[in-house]
Amino acid sequence: MKTLVFVSLVGLFLHDTTAEMHSLRYFFTASSEVPNFPEFVAVGMVDDIQGGYYDSNTKRAEPKQDWMNRVTEDKADYWEWETERAVYYQQLFKVRLDTFKRRFNQTGGVHIVQWMYDCEWDDETGDVNGHEQYGYDGEDFLALDMKTWTWVAAQQQAVAIKQKWDNNKADLEYLKNYLTEECVDWLKKYVDYGRSSLMRTDLPTVSLLQKTPSSRVTCHATGFYPNRAMMFWRKDGEELHEDVDKGEILPNHDGSFQISADLQLPSDDWGKYDCVFQLSGVKEDIVTKLDKREIKTNYVNPMNPVIPIIAIIAIIAALVLLGLAVIGYKKYRGRKSTCETSSENSSELAEKLNPEPT
């Protein structure tokens, strides 16, 4: 079964905003015969933070951030309205999924249609931008060119659909108005509602890690917020692209994020290398020099079985104390048994000397 991931072009739009750029993105996924997964899911993201959610099981749009409840200040029935829209898209995507399957001469089996649209707004320059695109079974399918306002087919099976949608001028005009105006208006409201959260910045703890002396050096940053961040290695001030493996931004249990980047061990002067962490909204980078003395590891050389003397003393002391405790306990039990026996014998003697009257 194909993994439920957004198509490759969608990934290009995540984590690329600056401190001044804001985005409102919607992701829709319709699927067939996927076990333990709703047939339709809709997710709304404000500055890459999930703001709302709907699926075909719950049949209800709901906020995912406390500040999204403020939207009812401007539109009291907002969540009912969002639910109605989601139900409409659910029905629409059921039809489009069947249409795409016919284009590929498919019937049953696991199939997935994904749709993403967004608008972006620079709160300093006022510039706006937008995107809209479709994916099918994990591959790019159709994308809207906002310069020519025509659809671009990524696969041969999408050509007929492209031609049909290009001829629908009314729909294209609606998309133009929505992506450049209506969507931006909503984005500005959401940013205002969640400003304290969306503009929050927490700096990370950055560490250099290494499993063994011959393995790659990992630069690891954790505890930062928001998730719009970058990490890379430099040599002599120039970003390295070879011998570097960049990891994805991952969530922590407390709502913060972490990221790492691995560097192949350099053969030349280590002092030429440093790790750079950049966080959206923070002007200064966090730069960590590659220094052997700063690398953390739990590696123990198998050829050097020497254990720190303190550890040896602690282990021996613990064993001695345990032995003494066992010996003491045995002596105590022995004395107790002797006392109990003596007590029983004394009782028997007393009964013989002072028999009860019959």
Tokens of residue 304, six digits: 């050097």
Question: What is the spatial distance between Cα 64 and Cα 59, in angstroms, rounded to a whole number?
Answer: 15
Q: Which CATH superfamily is domain 205-296 in?
A: Immunoglobulins (2.60.40.10)
Q: Tell me the one-letter amino acid at 11.
A: G
The pLDDT tens digits of the residues spanning 161-171 come to 999 999 999 99
Question: What is the spatial distance between Cα 181 and Cα 148, in angstroms, rounded to a whole number?
Answer: 18
Decide: residue 213, CB within 10 A, 0-12 exposed, 13-18 middle, 19+ buried: exposed
Tell me the CATH architecture of domain 8-198: 2-Layer Sandwich (3.30)
Contact 317, 309 (CB under 8 A): no
Least-confidence region, from 174-188, 240-254, 333-347: 333-347
φ/ψ region of 98 (left if φ > 0, alpha if ψ in -120 to 50, else beta) reads alpha
What's the predicted TM-score (pTM) here? 0.66
Which residues face 348 on adjacent strands? Answer: none
The pLDDT tens digits of the residues spanning 81-102 come to 999 999 999 999 999 999 999 9
Percent of the chain with pLDDT over 90: 65
Question: What is the spatial distance between Cα 41 and Cα 56, in angstroms, rounded to a whole number?
Answer: 7
**Mean pLDDT of the 284-299 span:** 92
DSSP, collapsed to helix, strand or coil, labels residue 227 as: coil
Q: Which residue has the higher pLDDT, 77 or 280?
A: 77
Tell me the pLDDT band of 19, cut-offs 50, 70 and 90. Answer: very low
Residue partners of 249: CB distance under 8 A and separation at least 6: 15, 227, 229, 257, 258, 259
On the question of pLDDT at 312 being above 50, the answer is: yes
Which residues make up the CATH 3.30.500.10 domain(s) of the chain?
8-198
On the question of pLDDT at 15 being above 50, the answer is: no
At 339 the pLDDT is: 47
